[in-house]
Amino acid sequence: MQDKRTAITVVGAGSWGTALAIVLADNAHEVRLWSHNEEQVKEINECHTNKRYLPEISLPELIVGYASLRDALMGVETVILAVPTKAIREVLGKISAVQTAPITVAHVSKGIEPDSLLRISEMITQEMPKELLQDIVVLSGPSHAEEVSLRHPTTVTVTSENMAAAEKIQDLFINHNFRVYTNSDVIGVEIGGALKNIIALAAGITDGLGYGDNAKAALMTRGLAEIARLGTKMGANPLTFSGLTGIGDLIVTCTSVHSRNWRAGNLLGKGKTLDEVLDNMGMVVEGVRTTKAAYQLANKYQVNMPITFALYDVLFNGKNAKDAVDVLMARGKTHEMEELVNVLDEKNTEN
């Protein structure tokens, strides 16, 4: 942990942004938590709570809410970007309009933009003027905001094209409750963090259908194989998917009631329509948009992703959830490792 108190701006006062603000405040940093909602900012400053997203949690007084993005960014060198994928471009535009000095942007969101098929770090590069962007860091891993805010033991990973920048973010966050590892595989960390939401939606569906633990274990295992196939084809290190941002994030997102994606899938499995599910959730379900992006990526890279394809049909083509699962179980026989080995052979040939 750094000895010197640092001013850090967290952009986005949802559950995850607020939980990370708590970690930073526990490390004695001055935390500026920005929200576009003035009532939420007033609550943060006057009541030291954020009840919509983290009920029953008291916020440290080192966390100060800001409604003015210009004021929140003034004199700050590090920005934690904690907004949904669909809001990334809009928020980056607002930051660029008021920022005057180079900053390190550490994003903590998990998604891929449909149609452009860009990872979030690529979106940041595209949206931020070069003279204002010092470094991009990604923070990801198995971490529910509800548990982080309670100071339960949590481990995450940071990565960057500039490992010195990743280590800087590691130093800002690491403490005895929140352990931070480094990893040099930016593609793998972002792909693993994004695509596990697809498998969590599917896991929720199987639970909603009442199919039990055997089905979910199979889904998670084969889902990880899909993630690794696509990620490796895109240039990721396949070993990344056996780590925190691969299997670690997959386990926690597919098995916890804290997971929005699992809860959304569970409602789909119980017969709710997608519109009904999204209205019921009241918060962003990243896996829905990511399913569309992954479907497009699978076609672009010619990677077989049967779970993703089945979920795409449920979400966007109106296919019955039970019928989609039945189709998955009726697939032709294959060797368990065949598809991943083929991708690795192609990667080795390219190298």
Show which residues are catalytic: 196
Q: What is the dihedral of CA 261, 193, 115, 268, to 10 degrees?
A: -10
234, 293 in Cβ contact below 8 A?
A: no
In angstroms, the first-to-last Cα distance of the chain is 39
Both tokens assigned to 5: 């108190």
258, 148 in Cβ contact below 8 A?
A: no
| Number of neighbours of residue 24 by Cβ within 10 angstroms | 25
20, 44 in Cβ contact below 8 A?
A: no
Q: How far from the centroid of its chain's Cα atoms is residue 31's Cα?
A: 21
| Number of neighbours of residue 78 by Cβ within 10 angstroms | 22
Sheet order of strands, 63-66 included: 63-66, 30-34, 7-11, 78-81, 103-107, 133-140, 154-160, 178-182
Distance of alpha carbon 167 from alpha carbon 108, whole angstroms? 15
Backbone phi, then psi, for 167, in 5-degree steps? -65, -30
